[in-house]
Amino acid sequence: QQQVKQSPQSLIVQKGGISIINCAYENTAFDYFPWYQQFPGKGPALLIAIRPDVSEKKEGRFTISFNKSAKQFSLHIMDSQPGDSATYFCAASMGWGATNKLIFGTGTLLAVQP
Amino acid sequence: GAVVSQHPSRVICKSGTSVKIECRSLDFQATTMFWYRQFPKKSLMLMATSNEGSKATYEQGVEKDKFLINHASLTLSTLTVTSAHPEDSSFYICSATGEFPEAFFGQGTRLTVV
Protein backbone atom coordinates (compact mmCIF):
# COMPACT_ATOMS: atom_id res chain seq x y z
CA GLN A 1 0.00 0.00 0.00
CA GLN A 2 2.89 2.33 0.74
CA GLN A 3 4.83 1.43 -2.39
CA VAL A 4 5.34 3.55 -5.46
CA LYS A 5 6.20 1.45 -8.49
CA GLN A 6 8.38 3.07 -11.16
CA SER A 7 9.26 1.98 -14.68
CA PRO A 8 11.35 1.58 -16.69
CA GLN A 9 14.45 0.87 -14.64
CA SER A 10 16.61 2.38 -17.37
CA LEU A 11 15.93 4.35 -20.52
CA ILE A 12 18.00 5.37 -23.52
CA VAL A 13 16.73 8.24 -25.63
CA GLN A 14 18.20 10.08 -28.58
CA LYS A 15 18.88 13.80 -28.28
CA GLY A 16 15.73 15.71 -29.12
CA GLY A 17 13.46 12.79 -28.30
CA ILE A 18 10.81 12.43 -25.60
CA SER A 19 11.67 10.60 -22.38
CA ILE A 20 8.72 9.04 -20.56
CA ILE A 21 8.88 7.59 -17.05
CA ASN A 22 5.88 6.05 -15.36
CA CYS A 23 4.84 5.56 -11.74
CA ALA A 24 1.91 3.85 -10.08
CA TYR A 25 0.65 3.87 -6.52
CA GLU A 26 -1.98 2.06 -4.44
CA ASN A 27 -2.61 4.34 -1.47
CA THR A 28 -5.42 6.75 -2.37
CA ALA A 29 -4.44 8.92 0.59
CA PHE A 30 -1.39 10.12 -1.33
CA ASP A 31 -1.99 13.64 -2.58
CA TYR A 32 1.42 15.08 -3.42
CA PHE A 33 3.48 13.66 -6.27
CA PRO A 34 6.92 15.19 -6.93
CA TRP A 35 9.62 14.16 -9.36
CA TYR A 36 13.30 14.43 -8.48
CA GLN A 37 16.44 14.44 -10.60
CA GLN A 38 19.66 13.06 -9.18
CA PHE A 39 23.14 13.23 -10.65
CA PRO A 40 25.84 10.79 -9.47
CA GLY A 41 27.21 11.69 -6.06
CA LYS A 42 24.65 14.45 -5.51
CA GLY A 43 21.41 14.81 -3.61
CA PRO A 44 18.07 14.78 -5.44
CA ALA A 45 16.74 18.06 -6.80
CA LEU A 46 13.02 18.77 -7.16
CA LEU A 47 11.96 19.03 -10.81
CA ILE A 48 8.22 19.39 -10.73
CA ALA A 49 5.32 18.32 -8.51
CA ILE A 50 1.58 17.85 -8.88
CA ARG A 51 -1.52 17.44 -6.77
CA PRO A 52 -4.32 15.05 -7.80
CA ASP A 53 -6.79 17.84 -8.50
CA VAL A 54 -5.09 18.56 -11.83
CA SER A 55 -4.39 16.16 -14.69
CA GLU A 56 -1.32 17.83 -16.10
CA LYS A 57 1.36 20.29 -15.10
CA LYS A 58 4.05 21.67 -17.36
CA GLU A 59 7.25 23.50 -16.47
CA GLY A 60 9.54 24.15 -19.39
CA ARG A 61 10.44 20.85 -21.03
CA PHE A 62 9.08 18.82 -18.11
CA THR A 63 5.44 17.72 -17.89
CA ILE A 64 3.66 15.59 -15.32
CA SER A 65 0.55 13.72 -16.45
CA PHE A 66 -1.69 12.46 -13.67
CA ASN A 67 -4.45 9.85 -13.94
CA LYS A 68 -6.27 9.70 -10.62
CA SER A 69 -8.63 6.87 -11.55
CA ALA A 70 -5.77 4.66 -12.70
CA LYS A 71 -3.54 5.80 -9.81
CA GLN A 72 -0.73 6.51 -12.22
CA PHE A 73 1.43 9.50 -13.04
CA SER A 74 4.21 10.04 -15.49
CA LEU A 75 7.04 12.42 -16.31
CA HIS A 76 7.60 13.52 -19.87
CA ILE A 77 10.84 15.23 -20.83
CA MET A 78 10.47 16.93 -24.19
CA ASP A 79 13.44 17.65 -26.45
CA SER A 80 15.68 15.52 -24.24
CA GLN A 81 19.29 16.70 -23.98
CA PRO A 82 22.50 14.93 -22.93
CA GLY A 83 22.50 17.13 -19.82
CA ASP A 84 19.25 15.46 -18.78
CA SER A 85 21.13 12.18 -18.31
CA ALA A 86 20.56 11.38 -14.64
CA THR A 87 18.48 9.19 -12.36
CA TYR A 88 14.87 10.24 -11.94
CA PHE A 89 12.73 9.37 -8.94
CA CYS A 90 9.01 9.75 -8.55
CA ALA A 91 7.63 10.07 -5.05
CA ALA A 92 4.38 10.41 -3.17
CA SER A 93 3.27 11.64 0.21
CA MET A 94 0.12 12.21 2.20
CA GLY A 95 -0.68 15.81 2.80
CA TRP A 96 0.33 18.61 0.51
CA GLY A 97 4.04 19.14 0.54
CA ALA A 98 6.86 17.12 1.91
CA THR A 99 6.21 17.87 5.57
CA ASN A 100 4.85 14.38 5.43
CA LYS A 101 7.39 11.73 4.55
CA LEU A 102 8.01 10.94 0.93
CA ILE A 103 7.73 7.44 -0.46
CA PHE A 104 10.16 7.12 -3.38
CA GLY A 105 9.94 5.01 -6.49
CA THR A 106 12.84 2.75 -7.43
CA GLY A 107 14.37 5.21 -9.87
CA THR A 108 14.97 5.39 -13.63
CA LEU A 109 18.42 5.84 -15.07
CA LEU A 110 18.07 8.01 -18.16
CA ALA A 111 20.78 8.24 -20.78
CA VAL A 112 20.32 10.76 -23.58
CA GLN A 113 22.58 9.99 -26.49
CA PRO A 114 23.96 12.88 -28.57
CA GLY B 1 14.78 27.14 -4.41
CA ALA B 2 15.95 27.01 -0.82
CA VAL B 3 19.45 25.77 -0.02
CA VAL B 4 20.32 22.84 2.21
CA SER B 5 23.99 22.30 2.93
CA GLN B 6 25.33 18.95 4.07
CA HIS B 7 28.81 18.45 5.51
CA PRO B 8 31.09 16.66 4.98
CA SER B 9 30.53 15.51 1.41
CA ARG B 10 32.89 12.59 1.91
CA VAL B 11 34.28 10.94 5.01
CA ILE B 12 36.41 7.89 5.64
CA CYS B 13 36.56 6.53 9.16
CA LYS B 14 37.95 3.51 10.93
CA SER B 15 35.70 0.74 12.09
CA GLY B 16 34.50 1.33 15.64
CA THR B 17 34.68 5.13 15.53
CA SER B 18 31.78 7.58 15.33
CA VAL B 19 31.05 10.02 12.55
CA LYS B 20 28.87 13.13 12.63
CA ILE B 21 27.13 14.50 9.55
CA GLU B 22 25.62 17.99 9.58
CA CYS B 23 22.62 19.23 7.64
CA ARG B 24 21.95 22.96 7.56
CA SER B 25 19.16 24.98 6.00
CA LEU B 26 20.93 28.14 4.86
CA ASP B 27 18.09 30.48 3.99
CA PHE B 28 14.99 29.15 5.70
CA GLN B 29 13.86 27.68 8.99
CA ALA B 30 13.53 23.92 8.74
CA THR B 31 10.84 22.69 11.07
CA THR B 32 11.22 19.14 9.78
CA MET B 33 14.30 17.33 8.53
CA PHE B 34 14.53 13.87 7.07
CA TRP B 35 17.51 11.55 6.88
CA TYR B 36 17.87 9.02 4.07
CA ARG B 37 20.29 6.29 3.19
CA GLN B 38 20.98 5.34 -0.41
CA PHE B 39 22.82 2.27 -1.66
CA PRO B 40 24.47 2.30 -5.12
CA LYS B 41 21.94 2.37 -7.94
CA LYS B 42 19.10 2.13 -5.44
CA SER B 43 16.36 4.40 -4.22
CA LEU B 44 16.35 6.57 -1.10
CA MET B 45 15.44 4.77 2.09
CA LEU B 46 14.01 6.98 4.82
CA MET B 47 15.80 6.44 8.11
CA ALA B 48 14.18 8.99 10.39
CA THR B 49 12.16 12.17 10.65
CA SER B 50 13.17 14.91 13.04
CA ASN B 51 11.23 17.94 14.17
CA GLU B 52 13.02 20.83 15.83
CA GLY B 53 13.17 20.37 19.57
CA SER B 54 11.67 16.88 19.52
CA LYS B 55 13.04 13.37 19.49
CA ALA B 56 13.47 11.86 16.07
CA THR B 57 11.01 9.29 14.76
CA TYR B 58 12.85 6.31 13.32
CA GLU B 59 11.60 4.02 10.56
CA GLN B 60 11.14 0.36 11.30
CA GLY B 61 14.43 -1.52 11.26
CA VAL B 62 16.63 1.54 11.83
CA GLU B 63 18.70 1.29 15.01
CA LYS B 64 18.17 4.51 16.95
CA ASP B 65 21.18 3.86 19.16
CA LYS B 66 23.44 3.50 16.13
CA PHE B 67 22.08 6.44 14.16
CA LEU B 68 21.72 9.33 16.59
CA ILE B 69 19.78 12.30 15.26
CA ASN B 70 19.68 15.72 16.84
CA HIS B 71 17.60 18.66 15.60
CA ALA B 72 18.41 21.28 18.19
CA SER B 73 17.75 24.36 16.07
CA LEU B 74 15.59 25.38 13.13
CA THR B 75 18.61 25.40 10.83
CA LEU B 76 20.67 22.42 11.93
CA SER B 77 20.20 18.69 12.23
CA THR B 78 22.97 16.17 12.81
CA LEU B 79 23.25 12.44 12.18
CA THR B 80 25.87 10.60 14.18
CA VAL B 81 26.78 7.09 13.11
CA THR B 82 28.09 5.48 16.28
CA SER B 83 30.57 2.62 16.37
CA ALA B 84 30.62 2.53 12.59
CA HIS B 85 31.24 -0.72 10.75
CA PRO B 86 31.89 -1.43 7.06
CA GLU B 87 28.22 -2.31 6.52
CA ASP B 88 27.35 1.28 7.50
CA SER B 89 29.21 2.53 4.42
CA SER B 90 26.65 4.29 2.27
CA PHE B 91 25.44 7.59 0.85
CA TYR B 92 23.51 9.56 3.48
CA ILE B 93 21.23 12.40 2.41
CA CYS B 94 19.20 14.88 4.42
CA SER B 95 16.21 16.92 3.35
CA ALA B 96 14.50 19.84 5.01
CA THR B 97 11.09 21.46 4.88
CA GLY B 98 9.86 24.65 6.42
CA GLU B 99 7.57 27.36 5.26
CA PHE B 100 7.65 25.90 1.74
CA PRO B 101 5.62 22.80 0.91
CA GLU B 102 8.55 21.26 -0.97
CA ALA B 103 11.43 19.28 0.49
CA PHE B 104 14.94 20.44 -0.35
CA PHE B 105 17.80 17.99 -0.28
CA GLY B 106 21.40 18.31 0.77
CA GLN B 107 24.19 17.21 -1.54
CA GLY B 108 24.74 13.98 0.39
CA THR B 109 27.60 12.47 2.38
CA ARG B 110 29.54 9.47 1.16
CA LEU B 111 30.59 7.49 4.24
CA THR B 112 33.24 4.81 3.90
CA VAL B 113 34.11 2.73 6.94
CA VAL B 114 37.42 0.87 6.69
CB contacts < 8 A, A to B, total 62
Average pLDDT score, chain A: 93
Distance, CA of A6 to CA of A91 (rounded, Å): 9
Q: Residue B6 is which amino acid?
A: Q
Question: What are the residues of chain A with a beta carbon less than 8 Å away from any beta carbon of chain B?
Answer: 32, 34, 36, 41-46, 49, 89, 96-99, 101-102, 104-107, 109
Query: Got the DSSP string for B9-70?
Result: SEEEE-TT--EEEEEEESSS--SEEEEEEE-TT--EEEEEEEETTSPPEEPTT--TTTEEEE
Cβ contact, residue pair B103, A98, below 8 Å: yes
Contacts of A45 in chain B (CB under 8 A): 1, 105
Percent of chain B beyond pLDDT 90? Answer: 77
Q: Kindly state the percentage of chain A with pLDDT values over 70.
A: 96
**What whole-number distance in Å separates Cα of residue A50 and Cα of residue B99?**
18
The pLDDT, as a whole number, for residue B68 is 96
Torsion of CA A21, A77, A51, B105, to 10 degrees: 90
How much is the average pLDDT of B80-99?
94
- Chain A positions touching B102 (Cβ under 8 A) are 34, 46, 49, 97-98
> Between chains, do A42 and B31 touch, taking CB under 8 Å as contact?
no
* CA distance linking residue A39 with residue A59, whole number of Å: 20
Say yes or no for a CB contact (<8 Å) between B101 and A96: yes
Neighbouring C-beta atoms of residue A68, cutoff 10 Å = 13
Higher pLDDT, A36 or B52: A36
Q: List pLDDT tens digits, range A60-80.
A: 999 999 999 999 999 999 999
Residue A89 has pLDDT above 70, yes or no: yes
